[in-house]
Structure 1
Amino acid sequence: MVQAALGVLKPTGNPFLDLCIWKGRFPSRKAQFCTMELKRDPMLEQVVLPLLGNGDMIMSWQGVRADESINRRYLPECDEVGGGLFNYRPILKWDIPAVFEAHRYMGIKPNPLYSQGMGRVGCMPCINCRKDELREIALRFPEVIDRIDRWERITQQASKRGAATFFAGSNTKHPKGSIANMSAVEVMEIASIRQAVEWSKTARGGIQYDLMIATDATACSSAYGLCDSGADGFNDTNVQLGEAA
């Protein structure tokens, strides 16, 4: 196992994958280290702290909304972190229609992925993506699933358990109820990205395939009602995906 880990512990050119290999696992909702180590910490170290060291005041604009999560629900619109750093959340009280109305007003086309079933567009996919979102990704961008499958196999070699799944295996529904006493092979068989995609196609608690789900990879699909907006650019499905996490 040590030799296998040493064989993959080398830069891949993808910061997210490098981080997962180094950790020997993928992030999860309870251990979302990707946000801290790839977003927050680099911003603090490379931008915020140098500016504060010069005696500047920083107003950090954050595009978060109160209805996105319980943690964000009680955030203030503006607060002082200290040392000259302030957080400002200008759209904190906005609802979803207001966000897209602002796009229309300013003549800015939303990210086309919002019209292709995606609820999140920062990462492709996010470890917190919805069931229907994963299904849309697999339907429209099968190469993304292939990429995650490769990442699982690479990260698996650096894992202490010998298993690494993109979505937390502990959330997987299976007869044993827990993965604690499962072998690495068993974990990968029930919780891999391929199995997650198959689960995304099911209904009734995952016990049967949903025959009513859409199978047209070119049709508009939006959790935000964009398909009915009729606004120019909202149904633009011409999008290319790179190797971003």
Structure 2
Amino acid sequence: MTNLSPIAVASVSGGKDSTATALRAIDEYGHDRCRFVAADTGHEHELTMEYLTDYLPGRLNVQIDVVKADFTQEIARKRIYVAEKWPTKLVAGKQGKWVRLGTIEEDDAEPPPPENVYLGAVIGGFVWSPAIRPMSEDEAAEVVARALAVLHPTGIPYLDLCLWKGRFPSRKAQFCTQFLKRHPLDRYMFDLIEQGFRVESWQGVRRDESDARRDAAAREWTPEGWEIVRPIVDWTAQQTVDFVLSRGVKLNPLYSLGCSRVGCMLCINAGKDEIANAARRWPHHIERIRGMEWLVGQASKMGFSTLLHHSDGEGGNAEFAYRHCNIDAMVDWAKTSRGGKQYDMLRVAPPPTCSSVYGLCE
């Protein structure tokens, strides 16, 4: 029998917005009618995980359940597909094609193929998916063997997702949130419903975060059957910070170490400042990403894949993109001034002990 009084299920990430949302949920419903859940992607900073699993539960007097995506079955199916299908596909090659973005009209005519069909291109609302040159049977066998050698679950959700997909997420194919957060969190909600609870999903979304969220509703129903509640939807970032601190709750320590946002280390959308900050403070994460790029590249048909891309597009073949966008190349670029030609001494100097865009060092 379903309990008529709803419970607030607050998704917490270690960031300021989700922490503020958790506090609002407790204020509204009390501890007994709240549940707290975090999705462990395996790509977070260790300080974020300590904040989520140690500090926050103790400070708020709550239990935070941790969910993780598991891609063991997907990788097993991918191994079969690679062994059985890739040899023929690689020998045959692939024709290039234009991919229509959702921002253009259906009747817009496709442009003619680019001069070099083996390089990516963007024209208006169309993105060119490059052609792949046919391989010899020996070359194809080598690619298949290379991929099968690394296609094994690591237990790290983010890395396993990329191994399964044979690539990292990108701005145009940002599948990470769907598979690493939304799906595990939805399963958590369904489990509560099966236990007889009426659930609400409390989310720390703010309209001024991005253009994509500027029309976010304060409350709305999902097709799955629960209501989404966004209690800080009309707040600014600084209002969120001030609210959390006013309740005697510390923020994630990363906010005092030069990070304006926390979450993946690094996010595929990381900007120049974020990359430079991570490289100066946490070189072990750059080393970790370097290893991930090698593994995912081995699982790719092309043999190359990168976590980050320059903002001027994702064109070029895989080898070209890897040369210009691998983590070491991106760190070098992040050390330069505008234009990417000359090193900026402020970006290569040792980082300050405390640095915060929210005034946490004052």
Paired amino acid for 2:248 = G
CA contact (8 A) 1:138 1:145 kept: yes
The residue number in structure 2 matching 1:226 is 360
Deviation at 1:124, TM superposition (A): 1.0
Q: Is the 8 A contact 2:335 2:348 kept in 1?
A: no
Contact 2:315–2:321 (CA<8 Å) still a contact in 1?
no
Larger Rg: 2
Q: Distance in 2 between matches of 1:77 and 1:102?
A: 18
Corresponding residue to 2:166 among 12, 24, 45: 24
111-120 or 145-154, which deviates more: 111-120
Q: Does 1:49 align with 2:183?
A: no
Superposed CA offset, 1:119-164 (max 9, x none): 2211111111221011010000000000000110111101121110
Matched, 1:79 2:220: yes
TM-score (norm 1): 0.83
Does the Cα contact within 8 Å between 2:280 and 2:348 map onto a contact in 1? no
Q: Deviations over 1:201-224 (max 9, x none)?
A: 111221211123362234222232
SS in 1 for 2:339: helix
Pick from 330, 338, 345 the counterpart of residue 204 of structure 1: 338
Counterpart contact for 2:219–2:230, Cα < 8 Å? yes
Query: Which position in structure 2 is the counterpart of 1:162?
Result: 303
Counterpart-to-counterpart distance in 2, 1:166 and 1:75? 29
User: 2:207·2:215 contact (CA, 8 Å) conserved in 1?
Assistant: yes
State the shift of 1:80 in Å: 1.6
- Whether the 8 Å CA contact 1:172–1:190 is kept in 2: the answer is no
Spell out the pairing of 1:138-149 with structure 2 (5 A cutoff): 138-149=279-290
Is residue 2:316 matched to residue 1:179? yes
The DSSP-based 3-state class of the residue aligned with 2:160 is: helix
What residue number does 1:93 align with?
Answer: 234
Q: Deviations over 1:178-197 (max 9, x none)?
A: 414xx62x432211000000
Structure 1 CA distance for aligned equivalents of residues 329 and 357 of structure 2: 24
The CA RMSD measured in Å over matched residues stands at 2.0
Amino acid at match of 1:15: P
Which stretch of structure 1 is more off in the superposition, 187-196 or 148-157?
187-196
Match of 2:247 in 1: 106
Change (3 A) 1:4 1:60: same
Aligned partner of 1:111: which letter?
Answer: N
Deviates more, 1:212-221 or 1:35-44: 212-221
Partner of 1:216: 350
The match for 1:37 is: 179
Would the aligned equivalents of 1:58 and 1:86 in 2 still touch at CA under 8 Å?
yes
Distance 2:298 2:161 in 1: 14
Looking at structure 2, the residues matched to 197 and 16 of structure 1 have their Cα atoms a distance apart, in angstroms, of 21
The corresponding residue for 1:241 is none
Scaled by the length of structure 2, the TM-score of the pair is 0.57
